[in-house]
Amino acid sequence: MTAHVLLIEDEPNIAEAIRFILMRDGLKVSTHSSGADAIEAVRSTQPDLLILDLMLPGMSGFDILSALRADPQTEDLPVLMLTAKGQVRDRAAAERAGVDAFMSKPFSNTEMLASVRALVPR
């Protein structure tokens, strides 16, 4: 079965690049660009991995993560969080909220692939 990745990222060009890399690697990718209804998107897509940007319009990635961890249906969902370089405090807060891995922007495509492969069950 093809693993399914949900990408929540408000920058369309970053989202497009990530989508392309992951699709080339044989993954199924859905994208979503708003924070406000992100939790609904996760529930309806039921992905195997969530890639979540920290700074989203509507709701921060941090709040989304906390909500997901509080719900038994999504508490074990692997989450890869995208942060900007230097957001040390935000990263510490996200770690406490139960993030599985981080990816700092600007990332290299190889790093991105390696992180995703490590988190997706194959």
Return residues touching other proteins (CB under 8 A). 11, 13-14, 16-18, 20-21, 24, 55, 84-85, 105-109, 112
Give the nearest distance from C-beta 10 to other proteins in angstroms. Answer: 9
Give the nearest distance from C-beta 120 to other proteins in angstroms. Answer: 19
Our CB check for other proteins shows the closer of 39 and 87 to be 87
Our CB check for other proteins shows the closer of 73 and 109 to be 109
State the distance between the two ends of the chain, measured CA to CA, in whole angstroms.
8
Our CB check for other proteins shows the closer of 4 and 105 to be 105
Contact 30, 45 (CB under 8 A): yes
- The SS3 call for residue 21 is helix
Give the nearest distance from C-beta 73 to other proteins in angstroms. Answer: 31
Q: How far is 113 from 71, CA to CA, in rounded Å?
A: 28
Relative to beta strand 101-105, strand 28-32 is unpaired
Give the nearest distance from C-beta 115 to other proteins in angstroms. Answer: 13
Q: How far is 21 from 109, CA to CA, in rounded Å?
A: 7
